[in-house]
Amino acid sequence: MAEGYFLAGRGTDSVNFDYFFRKNPFGGGFTIFAGLQDLFEMIEDFRFNSEAIDFLHKRGFHSSFLDYLKDFKFKGTLHAPQEGEVVFPNEPTITVEGNIIEAQLLETLLLNTINYQSLIATKANRLRHSAGDRGVMEFGMRRAQGWAVIHGSRAAVIGGVDSTSNVLSAYLYGLESSGTQAHSWIQSFKDEITAFRVYAETRPKNCVLLVDTYHTLNSGVPNAIVVAKEMEKKGERLSGIRLDSGDLAYLSKKARIMLDDAGLRGVKIIASNQLDEYIIKSLIDQGAKIDAFGVGTSLITGREDGALDGVYKLSQVNQRPTIKLSEDVYKLTLPGKKKIVRYYNGENKLYADAIVLAEENLSEIDTIYHPQYADKKSDVSGLKSEVLVSKVFENGKVLAPKKEVREISEYRKYRVSQLSEEHKRFEFPHIYKVGLSDALIKLREKLLADIKKKK
């Protein structure tokens, strides 16, 4: 695509691309926007070195285009919300402006980064919602799709989990790392009690014992109690036990009684084993005595969806608005350069978002319209409003302030708290209002009419 534009002499054409997704993942009511800072770093490092040029030469790319790539650097402009923001389908979440070649080259990198991290952050937020104040740890590295786990662990913490078992991600992003012993550790010793004792000796701080290798209630928990008492005599403390199989609700209740009867009320119970937001909610509803959850496969792979359907669509060329038609009305794109406006009700809760043309004055917008059904509209006059997107990257430089992952997560927490409860439920969440301005609708109708005339 980029070579074609170059050889056609269109390298100076200015364009506007919109990144948006068409539906929330997991049947939820909203999506957590994540991946922006990683995208910035990759854009800054986006170069074609001599090895890359040689590879492309062998693949048949034109020498004049390869000469262009030798000095390539993305100098376009990005508009986007803050990372950790709550966003909704069909909103132009990221706007990319630049020449047609650089904007085209950015497409796959942007989609790969933002789609995956937003998916995982949204899944993690659902787990946080289910777990409430209980701990949640990301345990997914062994089940992830290769190196995606590095970004996945970061996105999981943005979405609300407390820590990750992925030490590399913890190192790269300043995350809290956590984990427990494996079954193989216990199996490698002559008996369970010896395995526990040696582990406690080598790791007296943050010691968590895995109690289900042989028999949770008859062996694992009793042996953990023995070791906990031995640790207390040394001035140390057992941090917790982990349940990784069986009826977690039943076993946690029994284990809690056994620990409490032994005077070990401070020992936490951690559960793992194919957990997701629904299982966690069910365990809590059953009164399970679980203090923290380790979630692996379902979190890091974004199960059941596995992908966010974000797309990257052209909306303007050389100041000329463009539109993509489709037999499916929901795939009809929105033309022109746009911005997102968020409206709040009197209780400072999120009320509605509007997609409007970039040049529109907010004070002149009093009504927003359903994207497909013009008779459905909402009065937004007098409501508090803000433009959700701002310029975050321009001419090779990041304009948005760099934030720690925990800071981004706190912003996500605040924004989610501004959503009404009906938008947060897992089953049939209330659909959040996202409307169009009258000016945008009229522009869309004009372009559709122009296309019909040309047929």
Spatial contact of 238 and 276, defined as CB atoms under 8 Å apart: no
Region 421-429 average pLDDT: 95
* pTM of structure: 0.96
Whether pLDDT at 330 is above 70: no
Longest dimension (CA), the chain: 88
pLDDT one-digit tens code per residue, 62-75: 999 999 999 999 99
Whether pLDDT at 319 is above 90: yes
Please, how many CA atoms are within 13 Å of residue 67, restricted to the half-sphere of its CB? 4
Spatial contact of 157 and 406, defined as CB atoms under 8 Å apart: yes
Give the SS3 label for residue 311. strand
The fold for domain 122-300 equals TIM Barrel (3.20.20)
Whether pLDDT at 180 is above 90: no
Q: What is the CATH number of domain 12-31+73-101+314-454?
A: 3.20.140.10
CA distances to 72, 99, 322, 428 from 5, rounded to whole Å, are 15, 10, 17, 45
Region 29-49 average pLDDT: 97
Instruction: Give residue 449's pLDDT.
Output: 92
Whether pLDDT at 325 is above 90: no
Query: Can 12-31+73-101+314-454 and 122-300 be said to share one CATH topology?
Result: no
Domain locations in the chain? 12-31+73-101+314-454, 122-300
Instruction: Give residue 455's pLDDT.
Output: 66
Whether pLDDT at 331 is above 90: no
Instruction: Give residue 328's pLDDT.
Output: 67
pLDDT one-digit tens code per residue, 235-262: 999 999 999 999 999 999 999 999 999 9
Lowest mean pLDDT among 34-48, 113-127, 319-333, 341-355: 319-333
Instruction: Give residue 282's pLDDT.
Output: 98
- Grade residue 179 by pLDDT with cuts at 50, 70 and 90: confident
